[in-house]
Amino acid sequence: MTDDQTPADQASAAAQEPQLEIIPLGGLGEIGMNCMVLACQGSMIVIDAGLMFPRPDQQPGVDLLIPDFSFLKANEDKILGLVLTHGHEDHIGALPFLMRELPRIPVFGTRLTLEFTRDRIQEQKAPVPEYREIRPRSTVTLGPFRLEFIKVSHSILDGVAVAVRTPAGTVVHTGDFKMDLSAAEEDRTDLFKFASYGEEGVLALLSDSTNADVPGHSVSEKEVGRTLSRLFRDSPGRIIVACFASSLTRIREIVKAAIASERRIVFTGRSMTGNVALAQELGYLDIPLGIEIDFETAEHCEDREIVVVATGSQGEPMAALARMAAGDHRQVEVRGGDTIIFSARAIPGNETAIGELMNLFRHLGAKVVDPHAETIHASGHGHVDELKLMLSLTRPHYLIPVHGELRHLHRHREIAEELGIPRSRILLLADGQRVALCRDRSYRMLKSVRTGRRLVEGKRLGSPTDPVLKERRRLSEYGVVTVSAVLDSKTLAPLAPPAVSIQGVRYSDEQDLTLSVQEAAWDCCAQFAKAPGTWVPGPSGEPEELVRRLQSEVKSLFRLYISRKPVVIAQAVMVDPEAASAPGAPAKPEAGG
């Protein structure tokens, strides 16, 4: 800018400067639901389309949470492609729902990642996208974007980061990563490629923040493997290992430990058996002949020769591990001498279910090993030292922490400040916030876009503000009372004591409470018959005013008796007694309900 430029001239120059917009639609402020949009020169690319699992106490009856894709739908003609960094549900799980909205977007991913997405698309019966397979260090050009894919270590195989060159500069999106330097070469984070981008110049680093509050360096899968080998060798009976079905790096170590301890492996659980078969078919998992057996073969083996690898590490009630604990698994009956290994971290919110599962196994006489007692789990996300290494390699002008709750994003900012990056160059964004990065390394905050969460219930999509969620929470917290009154359609007089059903409400004398509700409802109906006024039938022919009175009276009664506010459902059915007593007509209700 020259000295004689006005602010208007400066703004006009900035508007003409090549710029790249960063638009997060999910994954900033929560763990999961990752979705990032990059926009430049009228074109867009999307990185990841993940889901998040609901909390039963907050979203009862909800199956999944996915991002609101309204912004993408409104810009469908500008989107050149969707890039998937790896095959975890929090990065690919929302793909079937996005494909229903935008079926023509090509989907880029590594071979294993695309195979996982094919399963999700088939399960949801969603439109099949155009798949384009990529490899680490391969490049793809989409309009103004030139993408290069960089190998990263994670708890799932075939994960990549994405470097994106644009007219405004280069941004690097790490995806989920860790720096496991002892990993096999084909699984190791490509430090040299990250460093080469650092030498070239990185305008912005969008970096995984999931473990920003965990000091030091993450545990290596090799160390987990050594612990598993020792446990397998020293345990006198069967070994039952629970882990995520997508943790193929962990399953590799389990296979090695089984071979070293002369044990054979049985896989159980639909997702576990499916993922293992797929990984073997694609060459990502090598299990020597005779090591993997079925349950029928296992019956003829001694207990000390068997390892069972199962789903259900999070306490899921229908998973294989929970069925074993409940005695419902058809092939595995847990007994004394068995060792149960929980080789997975507890996802926040699942701690109680996992603890109850462990207690059930202990009650059955089994030994339980969890990650607090032994090194049997390694996170797939880098700890503080690894985040510092990523920053040191890429040397970005701007850091944009992604993938984490607000506390993780803030801690990532503190880590960057410790390395000397000024706070003014660390951009903490929220879902829906847009920032424009310019070629001259300036930035501007733009108007936010519509985003949020959509609820998935079976085949239905809903909103977090859906009144039915509030009603479900009330039902679960306070119980429900149903009152049904039968009235003479001519006189409006009650023909029988109202029927009362009380569910989920604790009271010392249930019969007394039921009779009190029944009496209050009868009195309400009788008073209404004496002064009916001019009532207007509702859609079902009910007198709406009476229904409102019944609800009000019953609610008042419960507040008085037990200081509770159950959900009250009332109905008043109109019956013609003469027609009801005619031959072939329904019998008239008898007193006593």
**Percentage of residues in the chain having pLDDT higher than 90:** 65
b/e sequence 152-180, b meaning 16+ C-beta within 10 Å: bbbbbbbbbbbbbbbebbbbbbbbbbbbb
| Residues in Cβ contact with 108 at an 8 Å cutoff, skipping those fewer than 6 apart | 81, 82, 83, 84, 132, 133, 134, 140, 147
Distance of CA 38 to the CA centre of its chain: 23
What pLDDT shows up at residue 531? 64
Average pLDDT for residues 197-202, to the nearest whole number?
97
For residue 586, pLDDT beyond 80: no
Summary mean pLDDT of the chain? 88
Q: Can you tell me the distance from the alpha carbon of 356 to that of 345, in angstroms, rounded to the nearest whole number?
A: 15
- Phi, psi torsion values for 451, nearest 5 degrees: -150, -170
Q: Residues 40, 176: one domain?
A: yes
* Mean pLDDT (whole number) for 566-574: 83
Assess if residue 587 is contained within a domain. Answer: no
pLDDT of residue 509: 60
- CA dist., res. 557 & res. 578, Å (int): 34
Looking at residue 108, its pLDDT comes to 98
Between 291-300, 342-351, 353-362, the lowest mean confidence (pLDDT) is in 342-351
pLDDT of residue 511: 61
Nearest to 85 by CA among 40, 46, 119: 46
* Between 484 and 84, the higher pLDDT residue: 84
Which residue among 406, 430, 462 closes a domain? 462
Mapping DSSP to helix (H, G, I), strand (E, B) and coil, where does residue 122 land? Answer: helix
Q: How confident is the model at residue 540 (pLDDT cuts 50, 70, 90)?
A: low
The CATH number for 159's domain is 3.60.15.10
**284 and 391 share a domain?**
no
Q: Taking residues 134-156, report their average pLDDT.
A: 97
- Give pLDDT, residue 119: 87
The tokens for 400 are 């944009």
| Residue 97 clears pLDDT 70, i.e. is over it | yes
What pLDDT band is residue 212 in, cutting at 50, 70 and 90? very high
- How far apart are the C-alpha atoms of 302 and 10, rounded to whole Å? 79
Domain closes at, from 369, 391, 407: 369
Distance CA 390, CA 177 (A): 10
pLDDT mean over 149-154:
97
Q: Which two tokens stand for residue 134?
A: 């990529």
pLDDT interval class at 275 (50, 70, 90)? very high
Q: What is the CATH number of the domain that holds 350?
A: 3.40.50.10710
Contact by Cβ (8 Å): 538, 546: no
Predicted model pTM: 0.81
Please check the confidence at residue 269 and state whether its pLDDT lies above 70: yes
* 537 and 563 in a common domain: yes
Residues 252 and 199 in one domain: no
Residues 112, 47, 146, 180, Cα dihedral to 10°: -60
In the prediction, which pLDDT does 533 show?
Answer: 54
The answer to whether 38 and 30 are in contact (CB under 8 A) is no
State residue 421 phi and psi, 5-degree precision.
Answer: -80, 125
Last residue of a domain, one of 307, 339, 369: 369
pLDDT at 585: 42
Residue 7, classified by CB atoms within 10 Å of its CB into exposed (0-12), middle (13-18) or buried (19+), is exposed
Residue 470 pLDDT exceeds 80: no
Residues 22 and 72 in one domain: yes
- Average the pLDDT over 73-92 and give the result: 96
Q: Which stretch of 219-223, 246-250, 463-467 has the lowest confidence by average pLDDT? A: 463-467
Q: What is the DSSP string of 183-225?
A: S-GGGS--HHHHHHHHHH--SEEEEE-TTTTS-S-PPPHHHHH
Q: What angle do CA 452, 474, 485 make, to 5 degrees?
A: 130
pLDDT over 90 (residue 329): yes
Residue 405 has pLDDT above 60, yes or no: yes
DSSP state of 72: H
Name the pairing type of β-strands 79-83 and 19-26: unpaired
Q: Which domain holds residue 534?
A: 479-580
Task: Compute the distance between CA of residue 343 and CA of residue 175 in angstroms, rounded to an integer.
Answer: 23
pLDDT band at 365 (very low <50, low <70, confident <90, very high): very high
More confident of the two residues 593 and 574: 574
HSE-up of residue 66 (Cα within 13 Å, Cβ side): 24
> Between 57 and 416, whose confidence is greater?
416
Which of 260, 363, 247, 370 lies closest to 307 in space, CA to CA?
A: 260
Separation of CA 191 from chain center? 30
556: confidence class by pLDDT, cuts 50, 70, 90: confident
**410 and 548 co-located in one domain:** no
**Do both 101 and 75 map to the same domain?**
yes
pLDDT computed for residue 131 by the predictor: 97
* φ, ψ of residue 333 in degrees (nearest 5): -115, 110
* Number of domains the chain is built from: 3
The domain that holds 558 is classified in CATH as 3.10.20.580
Q: Are residues 46 and 163 in the same domain?
A: yes
